[in-house]
């Protein structure tokens, strides 16, 4: 009887192990760019320097393999190239969290069929039980240990896919790419490559890829995580803000909410930034039209009128207290801010890209889905 029980248990484990491996082969399909706007702000034929801001529209299928992700990014860059926007002095700006959902790469295709994120994540854990338990054990202290464990579990694959994708695309198009952001443990740049440290906290970080595929300088790590991020992300110091020597000039990269705080602009000024680039993500469909709830994660700066909370919209608050309202304090006169759009299960997003030249906001055609804008001067 004992032998029978052992055989049954062994068969159950074998079946479960096979199930964990099944359904992970990527489904090859042409990426759906959902591209509504391709617009040049200025004459792209005569301009000397330019920023190409890409607002991608991402879906779960775009992240189920590294190849699918690269194919989607390549699709947008092909459109920019066809429009004549890419040349040796171009810098491409991509949005916050673009690389974060590489968490799904190599996972079971059934994740795409789930209706909500909360229903998808348990399948991610069940498919990788031992790796998850190990990551949970090493996750350390934090209010959201589950999220910390998931990102630690996939950190190496995420970093490799992100690095390979943007290194390849930067070389292929011979252009500089500010590659949005990705959540990684202790991210640094060593010998022109991304290196992570599993013993360090998680950061929301952006990396810059040069035309020869090198990763420039050091990562731009988020200084002011929001209240939604603080349970699993660490905060960087404003003094660590990197300013990159790029073809468009000395360029500071501020990750989303960092663009709301004077301390970061003061650091950009101290380091003689000429250009400010902001990769962003704003969760929730129609968020920009809803009442502003105030600063999230850190206290509001002294120059903020607290009477605006609940009085103005989220979009108006972005215009007043983020890049558009604060660029002048950085010493820079050129700037761009692009948002991640898409539909990841029940997660929608909002936000309209902003471009500034000589300190003034440029008129743009808006897009609720994907868009490509070329700011040239």
Q: Is residue 46 part of a domain?
A: yes
User: Residue 253's closest CA among 281, 222, 282, 220?
Assistant: 220
Q: Is residue 108 part of a domain?
A: yes
Q: Is residue 308 part of a domain?
A: yes
Q: Is residue 219 part of a domain?
A: yes
User: Residue 148's pLDDT is what?
Assistant: 96
C-alpha–C-alpha distance, residues 260 and 239, integer Å: 16
* Cβ-based neighbours of 339, under 8 Å, separated by 6 or more: 55, 95, 96, 280, 281, 282, 349, 350, 351, 352, 353
pLDDT in tens, 306-331: 999 999 999 999 999 999 999 999 99
H helices, E strands: number in the chain: 9, 21
Q: Is residue 215 part of a domain?
A: yes
CATH number of the domain at 325, please.
Answer: 3.60.110.10
User: Residue 260's pLDDT is what?
Assistant: 98
Give the burial class of 342: count Cβ atoms within 10 A of its Cβ; 0-12 exposed, 13-18 middle, 19 or more buried: buried
Q: Is residue 22 part of a domain?
A: no
How many independent structural domains does the chain possess? 1
82 contacts 123 by C-beta, under 8 angstroms: no
Q: What are phi and psi of 137, to 5 degrees?
A: -65, -35
pLDDT per residue of the chain (377 residues) written in tens, 0 to 9: 665 454 544 444 444 444 445 555 666 678 899 999 999 997 666 789 999 999 999 999 999 999 999 999 999 999 999 999 999 899 999 999 999 999 999 998 888 788 888 888 899 999 899 999 999 988 877 789 999 999 999 999 999 999 999 999 999 999 999 999 999 999 999 999 999 999 999 999 999 999 999 999 999 999 999 999 999 999 999 999 999 999 999 999 999 999 999 999 999 999 999 999 999 999 999 999 999 999 999 999 999 999 999 999 999 999 999 999 999 999 999 999 999 999 999 889 999 999 999 999 999 999 999 999 999 99
DSSP letters of 141-183? Answer: S-TTHHHHHHHHHTHHHHHHHHHHHHHHHHHHHT-EEEE--EE
C-alpha–C-alpha distance, residues 41 and 347, integer Å: 31
Boundaries of domain holding 131: 31-376
Give this prediction's pTM.
Answer: 0.93
Distances (CA, A) of 131 to 10, 135, 203, 206, 277: 20, 6, 21, 26, 36
Distance between terminal CA atoms of the chain?
81
Q: Is residue 1 part of a domain?
A: no
User: Residue 143's pLDDT is what?
Assistant: 86
Q: Is residue 287 part of a domain?
A: yes
C-alpha–C-alpha distance, residues 145 and 197, integer Å: 18
């Amino acid at each position: 009887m004992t032998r029978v029980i052992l055989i049954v248990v062994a068969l159950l484990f074998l079946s479960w192990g096979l199930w964990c491996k099944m359904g992970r082969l990527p489904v090859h399909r042409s990426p759906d760019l959902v591209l509504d706007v391709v617009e040049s702000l200025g004459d792209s034929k005569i301009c000397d320097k330019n920023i190409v801001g890409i607002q991608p529209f991402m879906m779960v299928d775009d992240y189920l393999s590294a190849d699918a992700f690269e194919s989607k990014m390549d699709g947008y860059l092909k459109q920019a190239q066809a429009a004549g926007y890419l040349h040796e002095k171009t810098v491409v700006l991509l949005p916050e969290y673009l690389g974060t959902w590489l968490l799904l790469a190599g996972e079971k295709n059934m994740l795409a069929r789930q209706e909500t994120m909360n229903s998808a994540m348990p399948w991610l854990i069940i498919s990788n039980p031992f790796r998850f338990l190990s990551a949970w054990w090493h996750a350390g202290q934090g209010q959201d240990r589950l999220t910390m464990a998931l990102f630690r579990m996939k950190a190496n694959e995420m970093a490799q896919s992100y690095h390979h994708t943007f290194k390849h695309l930067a070389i292929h198009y011979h252009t500089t790419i500010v590659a949005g952001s990705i959540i990684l443990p202790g991210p640094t740049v060593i010998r022109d490559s991304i290196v992570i440290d599993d013993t360090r906290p998680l950061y929301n970080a952006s990396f810059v890829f040069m035309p020869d595929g090198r990763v420039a300088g050091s990562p731009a790590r988020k200084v002011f995580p929001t209240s939604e991020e603080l349970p699993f992300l660490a905060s960087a110091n404003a003094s660590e803000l990197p300013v990159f020597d790029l073809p468009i000039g000395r360029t500071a990269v501020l990750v989303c909410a960092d663009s709301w705080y004077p301390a970061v602009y003061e650091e950009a000024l101290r380091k003689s930034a000429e250009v400010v680039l902001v990769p962003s993500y704003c969760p929730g469909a129609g968020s920009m039209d809803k009442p502003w709830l105030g600063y999230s994660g850190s206290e509001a700066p002294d120059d903020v009128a607290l009477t605006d909370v609940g009085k103005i919209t989220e979009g108006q608050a972005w215009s007043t207290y983020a890049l558009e309202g604060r660029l002048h304090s950085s010493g820079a006169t050129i700037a761009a801010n692009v948002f991640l759009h898409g539909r990841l299960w029940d997660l929608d997003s909002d936000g309209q890209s902003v471009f500034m030249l000589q300190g003034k906001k440029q008129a743009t055609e808006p897009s609720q889905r994907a868009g490509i804008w070329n700011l040239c001067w």
